Structure 1
Amino acid sequence: MYISIQKNIYCENCRICGARPVIEQLPKAKFKLVCPNDKDHFKLTSAFIDDSIKAWNKLNETPVGLRNVG
């Protein structure tokens, strides 16, 4: 089962395909942050979703010169 991340939570898009990540629910109440288009792009599992989102953002950070401003 996949859970969408609320739009008001800052999260970088996948740097490979541009998709917004989703949260995959695993057995035993565990969760994993994954790219919805291809699980092999990035997958991050952490005890806390906040930590996974921070790690995802570091991996997928848009270089300063390429960011849309405004």
Structure 2
Amino acid sequence: MAISYEIIKHLAVLSENASGWKKELNLVSWNNREPKYDLRDWSDNHDKMGKGLTLSKEEVEELKRALELIE
């Protein structure tokens, strides 16, 4: 079964490697489900992706609080 996805909103590029792949934070709908925050490497035209992490809005808010504690 193929996985479908739609990038609903591009939020940020965190880095780019030598081959042009970018680590991006996006709001992505996977298999026509409710969009989640998604952090992963993407090829330049978004047709290939690396392993990543998806987070709900609540998880992103908790992560933000945790990151603010880092000095």
Q: TM-score normalised by the shorter chain: which range applies?
A: 0.3 to 0.5
* Structure with bigger RCO (C-alpha 8 Å, 6+ apart): 1
Who wins on radius of gyration, i.e. which is larger?
2
TM-score by length of 2: 0.39
Of Structure 1 and Structure 2, the greater strand share is in 2
